[in-house]
Structure 1
Amino acid sequence: MRRYLLGAVAMAAAVTFGAPAVLAQPAQNTIRWFSDTEPANMSPYFNSTREGVIFGFHVWDAPLYRNLRTGEYENHLAESVRIVDDTTIELRIRQGIVAHNGDTVDARDVVATVEFALDPANQVTNGGRARWLAGAELVDNHTVRLRTPAPFGPWQEYLTTLLIIPRASLATGREGMGRNPIGTGPYRVTELSAGQRIVFERFDRYFGGAKGQPEVERLVFRRVPEANTRVAELLTGGVDWVWRVTPDQARNLQRRRGVTVASGGTVRFHYLQMDAAGRSGEQDNPMRDIRVRQAINHAIDRAGIVRNLVGEGSDPLNTPCHPDQFGCVQEGITRYDYDPARARALLAEAGFPNGFTVNIMGYRERPWAEAIIGNLRAVGITANLQWQQYDAYQRATREGQVRLAYGSWGSTSLFDVANSTSYFFRGSTDDMTRDPEVMALLERGDNNTDPAARREAYTAAMRRITEQAYWAPLWTFPLTYAFHSQLEFAPTADEVPRFYSARWRR
């Protein structure tokens, strides 16, 4: 298994002029953090938002944990892992693990979680955490065997996101888990006021494991949609930590004493999905024509948008995956340079000399979407923006209602294309292409433990996807944070801030 060096990449800049008007929360040992999105359901199996992923790391635990400094996989809920055969993984679960409700957690909770996630009746919306499994078998109360339908190459990576939910919590179902989330993690949820705030308190009975014991006693989360409002709150002492800071905001904040600005890498990328499969209707659907898809690719000035809007740390993208992920092969793929004249010629060849009108749906980084719309307009394509919350966006794309989707994907912070390219191109409801050749190649790559064989299959898949211009990959996603300078916080390479590793300077 490939090892990834995931050490923090931080370029911190302390500042020089006026400090925040109100001091932060070191005396209360609290971190207040604002973000622009709040998951509709707190359960990690019923939301796919990045904020939900972060909540998951703090409220729940998985069998394995990826050490960000070494790239190694470490035992966490599991005290040992053993490969029984090509499709069977045996986990020995630590004894003495206590859930937030006081229940003891053991192998029975692992089985219950897997069975719950795989049961179609439960309609989990983030099934990728467990979809790679065929089932789980209880050996004894501390031993469980996980079964895969075929050999599965990135099994260790996926065991870092298989969050285990106590049986009593699972029994309450989707709504119960959303209202009263219960895990084993370093923080427990003590207040959940949807649309207002979520409070997390340090769990004093936490077992530690690979995460260690947290120093900060309390986390307070609020959804604040406007980026300027979040930054203003930071400067006036209303919040301690914000992220998704724009390049202009970062430059301004770097001149403020008492604020630290830091950048970290991610495996997130942005893309345009096109309805090549005709799920939104085959007649009068330009996305069915490869020449139209090629034209859209040529119409977008990726480098210009990266330079002027996305900012430092981002790179134009040519594949439906992040280049740091295993299997995201860049050799031999078809690349589409920015060429508006070529885009117009392709549209004319496809029967659209005067362009056409299409709806484009999106849900985050609106200024970037508007820049893309401007590029499309320049070659004759009128793209009407439909702006949605993520849940509505996801529902519409999965139900085949969208012809052009502007999206962003963080791969649940997994460094493997099994959770990026395969997620979108293996025939699920998220697949707007439905190419049997691509599906077969990705299945071959996913269901193999030989890295060379996996890479060979993924290489062929990337070449087919880019040749057919099924997507318009856009750019990788840098992440800039701003926080009170008394807070010791290290950005990571996977877009998951570890508040349980942060501390206030005394």
Structure 2
Amino acid sequence: MMKHTHCSRLLITLSAALLPLACSPAWAGKADDTLNVAFDAAPATLDAYKESDRPGLALGRMLYSGLIQKNQQTGEFGPAIASAYKFTDDKTLELTIRKDVRFHDGSLLKLDDVLYTLNLVSSKDYNARFQNTVSWIAGVDKVSDNTIRIRMKEPFPLALEMLSENLPIYPRSYYEKAQSDMGVKPIGTGPYRLAESQPGSRYVFERFDGYFGSKPAIQRLVVRILPDANTQYAELLGGGLDWIWRLPPDAAKRMASQPNVDVKSSSIMRISYININPAFQEGKSPLANVKVRQAINMAIDRESIRKALVGGSSKLTDSACNPLQFGCTTDVRTYSYDPQKAKALLAEAGYANGFTIDMVVANPPRSILEAAAANLAQVGIKVNLVEQQFGTAVTNWRDNKVALMAANWGSYGIADVALSTSNFFKGAGDDLVKNPEVVKLLTAGDTSVNRDFRATQYGKALKIIADQAYWVPLWNHSLNAAQAKNLNFAVDSDEFPRFYKASWK
């Protein structure tokens, strides 16, 4: 039998990897103060304004700083590059810029760097990857030697959300000369700097001693790209890695049984749902009837499905949003699992014998929707599951070619219903209902900076959506991460691992 002399060399299948190991791993990281983590996909670029995937954006949060910083636990905003901020009116925000912020090349951040960055990325020709982070900016002006003024196109309540990490400040002298270099040789003001990299394979970050904020507790961060999950499991169990994430429920359960591994399940912003299209077939399908839509909600045993197939720290949702988000009221009509009542509603709607309909599955696991389809079949609704790529599904949905669509939505990690409920029901492309009262309420909430007023408008809109059963709220997602026992760390609810918060026990 082959003998393994080093646990870190084990490349074994999942079933074998999760058996107790004969050797006691010497956990990586603590002795040399290096945190070793793995992602399953490489970032396309380290330029935060051009990247779209979460691994790359997560690394950007190590490299760059925003003007302000959000406390992910309390939801409060505090200082970062800006030492203070204030709304001077509904469309104007003034920020005081610190004078002791340094870029990774040692140069001091200047007011001109802030003006240059924000005016550039919000310009028509720049093409920032996520336009919603910059499209609200009308212009940025200098007020004094340490103060800038951001002018909004209209009142934008998410301004503080965007200024916290979503709008990093770049050094003008560097970025102006060669923007493409930022993607491979980034220079930011964040808590870590890129020390070396093998793009697509390995990235080494070192604590930036010139960082203006609280320094990370761990000196070095090594990020490796390991697409194969079994390799990640073996490396973690063998001590070659300290942290991995996005474990499916079955793997998380098995990992939790290992003596030297902690598994943490974090509630995150992402939600699963089934969107219902009342306008399908020009409003002549059964879905046009509110009683049918309500019956669909009552026919699905959401809690049993969640418990058996989702697990973790997920919880049922009752509104068209995530309860972690501002404005997401749970004081709405709810639909408990009641197949008999669902059958009665179908009969009242004229469908006592049921009907057949397609459901496009955009990204939840098929097994989950198979369980939901089985529930619907019990009340007479035969559902044909049609799997499509998310982009294709969204295009077909917007073209009114889809009756039901099962998908999930992460709200870009923003804890505000303006990026969940409003995305689906404010009259834009994803809104096939276009209820004028709902559109009016959401528009009012999205264009005010008065939090009490916004909460009231959103609450009214969400009640209408629930009363009319325009969609089936399922549950919020949880994210499973496995890590070495000697590591203190947890992923925040916006689905970003902020490694600068990590420490050793």
Task: Report the CA distance between 1:319 and its aligned residue.
Answer: 0.6
**Structure 2: any 5+ residue segments left out of the alignment?**
1-17
Equivalence for 1:183: 188
Instruction: Give the TM-score, by structure 1 length.
Output: 0.80
Q: Distance in 2 between matches of 1:392 and 1:201?
A: 37
Equivalence for 2:237: 235
Output the aligned Cα RMSD. 3.7
Equivalence for 1:270: 272
Q: Which residues of 2 match residues 145-224 of structure 1 at below 5 A?
A: 145-166=149-170, 167=172, 168-169=174-175, 178=183, 181-189=186-194, 190-191=196-197, 193-194=199-200, 197-202=201-206, 204=208, 206-209=210-213, 212-222=215-225, 224=227
Task: Report the CA distance between 1:308 and its aligned residue.
Answer: 1.2
Q: Distance in 2 between matches of 1:19 and 1:143?
A: 61
- C-alpha change, 1:319 and 1:69, in structure 2 (3 Å) is closer
Q: Distance in 2 between matches of 1:77 and 1:352?
A: 63
Deviation per CA, 1:368-407: give whole Å up to 9, x if none: 344334444554333334253x666667767777554333
- C-alpha change, 1:483 and 1:290, in structure 2 (3 Å) is same
Equivalence for 2:247: 245
Q: Secondary structure at the match of 1:55?
A: helix
Q: Distance in 1 between matches of 2:168 and 2:435?
A: 34
Amino acid corresponding to residue 499 of structure 2 in structure 1: F
Task: Report the CA distance between 1:455 and its aligned residue.
Answer: 2.0
Q: Secondary structure at the match of 1:267?
A: strand
Q: Is the 8 A contact 1:179 1:192 kept in 2?
A: no
Q: Which residues of 2 match residues 318-337 of structure 1 at below 5 A?
A: 318-331=318-331, 333-337=332-336
Deviates more, 1:494-503 or 1:33-42: 33-42
- C-alpha change, 1:344 and 1:131, in structure 2 (3 Å) is farther
Q: Is the 8 A contact 1:263 1:479 kept in 2?
A: yes
- C-alpha change, 1:394 and 1:29, in structure 2 (3 Å) is farther
Task: Report the CA distance between 1:260 and its aligned residue.
Answer: 1.6
Q: How many residues align?
A: 482
Equivalence for 1:441: 441
- Is 1:380 equivalent to 2:385 in the alignment? no
**Structure 1: any 5+ residue segments left out of the alignment?**
1-14
Q: Secondary structure at the match of 2:166?
A: coil
- Is 1:257 equivalent to 2:289 in the alignment? no
Equivalence for 1:363: 363
- C-alpha change, 1:396 and 1:504, in structure 2 (3 Å) is farther
Task: Report the CA distance between 1:285 and its aligned residue.
Answer: 6.5
Q: Distance in 1 between matches of 2:501 and 2:222?
A: 12
- C-alpha change, 1:187 and 1:449, in structure 2 (3 Å) is same
Q: Distance in 2 between matches of 1:324 and 1:344?
A: 33
Amino acid corresponding to residue 51 of structure 1 in structure 2: P
Q: Distance in 2 between matches of 1:396 and 1:112?
A: 40
Q: Distance in 1 between matches of 2:393 and 2:44?
A: 13
Q: Which residues of 2 match residues 77-96 of structure 1 at below 5 A?
A: 77-96=81-100
Q: Secondary structure at the match of 2:257?
A: coil
Equivalence for 1:501: 501
- C-alpha change, 1:25 and 1:248, in structure 2 (3 Å) is same
Task: Report the CA distance between 1:487 and its aligned residue.
Answer: 2.1
Q: Is the 8 A contact 1:277 1:434 kept in 2?
A: no
Q: Distance in 1 between matches of 2:394 and 2:129?
A: 10
Q: Is the 8 A contact 2:427 2:434 kept in 1?
A: yes
Deviation per CA, 1:45-90: give whole Å up to 9, x if none: 4455443442332222111112356654220011221332232111
Task: Report the CA distance between 1:500 and its aligned residue.
Answer: 1.0
Deviates more, 1:376-385 or 1:88-97: 376-385
Deviation per CA, 1:65-124: give whole Å up to 9, x if none: 123566542200112213322321111222243444666544444344444444444444
Q: Distance in 2 between matches of 1:467 and 1:132?
A: 32
Equivalence for 1:135: 139
Query: Rg larger in 1 or in 2?
Result: 2
Task: Report the CA distance between 1:140 and its aligned residue.
Answer: 5.1
Equivalence for 1:3: none
Amino acid corresponding to residue 92 of structure 1 in structure 2: T
- C-alpha change, 1:147 and 1:394, in structure 2 (3 Å) is farther
- Is 1:296 equivalent to 2:296 in the alignment? yes
Equivalence for 1:11: none
Identity value in percent: 33
Q: Distance in 2 between matches of 1:220 and 1:411?
A: 26
- C-alpha change, 1:442 and 1:98, in structure 2 (3 Å) is same
Q: Is the 8 A contact 1:187 1:201 kept in 2?
A: yes
Task: Report the CA distance between 1:490 and its aligned residue.
Answer: 4.0
Amino acid corresponding to residue 222 of structure 1 in structure 2: I
Q: Is the 8 A contact 2:34 2:218 kept in 1?
A: no
Task: Report the CA distance between 1:459 and its aligned residue.
Answer: 1.3
- C-alpha change, 1:335 and 1:116, in structure 2 (3 Å) is farther
Q: Is the 8 A contact 1:292 1:350 kept in 2?
A: no
Q: Secondary structure at the match of 1:266?
A: strand
Deviation per CA, 1:132-180: give whole Å up to 9, x if none: 444322335643211234444454344324322424547766x776555
Q: Distance in 2 between matches of 1:400 and 1:178?
A: 38
Q: Distance in 2 between matches of 1:142 and 1:266?
A: 37
Q: Distance in 2 between matches of 1:160 and 1:37?
A: 25
- C-alpha change, 1:320 and 1:241, in structure 2 (3 Å) is same
Equivalence for 1:421: 421
- Is 1:25 equivalent to 2:28 in the alignment? yes
Amino acid corresponding to residue 407 of structure 1 in structure 2: A
- C-alpha change, 1:200 and 1:461, in structure 2 (3 Å) is farther
Deviates more, 1:421-430 or 1:478-487: 421-430
Q: Distance in 1 between matches of 2:207 and 2:224?
A: 17
Amino acid corresponding to residue 497 of structure 2 in structure 1: P
Equivalence for 1:5: none
Q: Distance in 2 between matches of 1:293 and 1:37?
A: 39
Q: Distance in 2 between matches of 1:130 and 1:467?
A: 35
Amino acid corresponding to residue 309 of structure 2 in structure 1: L
Q: Secondary structure at the match of 1:160?
A: helix
Q: Is the 8 A contact 1:18 1:258 kept in 2?
A: no
Amino acid corresponding to residue 441 of structure 1 in structure 2: L
Q: Distance in 2 between matches of 1:272 and 1:176?
A: 42
Q: Distance in 1 between matches of 2:279 and 2:134?
A: 27
Q: Is the 8 A contact 1:50 1:410 kept in 2?
A: no
Equivalence for 1:144: 148
